[in-house]
Amino acid sequence: MSKIKKIKLVIIPSPRMGRLLPTTEMAKRLIMRDEHLSVTILVLDMNLDSNLNPYIQSLYLNSNCTSSNFLPRDKSALFIGSHKPQVGQVVAQIQQTATLSGFVVDIMCSIMIDVASEFGVPTYIFYMTSATMLVLHFHM
């Protein structure tokens, strides 16, 4: 019987308290559902609340499938898009050791879809609001 290889999902949450915590909770629930799934959470450093780092670290310490990488803050740029090269470098390292299956990005980090396209993997948008708000955004 052949051993099933783990697949890796890269999750990029928005670096804000109200969005980061639900995204990491979603990642935790995903890995609890499938033993063949491994998750890496890439956290863009934009002066995060100091209480968040221990929380995020505890998520992967309490689960053998999740890891997190805190990307260094780029002081010269104000936009999430400025982290695209760093995300690409981290994902290239991940791809050397695991089968990359896709990206899950917060709606505020949708610019990272370009990085996923470079690696030829699908991107899923994590949009944590009501369906009514989603329709309103699409309408605009």
What CATH code is assigned to 7-139?
3.40.50.2000
76 pLDDT higher than 50: no
Cβ neighbours, 10 Å, residue 11: 24
0.75 surpassed by pTM: no
Q: What is the pLDDT of residue 48?
A: 52
CA quadruple 47, 49, 51, 56: dihedral sign: negative
Question: Which amino acid is it at 93?
Answer: Q
Question: Domain map of the chain by residue range?
Answer: 7-139
8 pLDDT higher than 70: yes
Q: Which two tokens stand for residue 2?
A: 């052949």
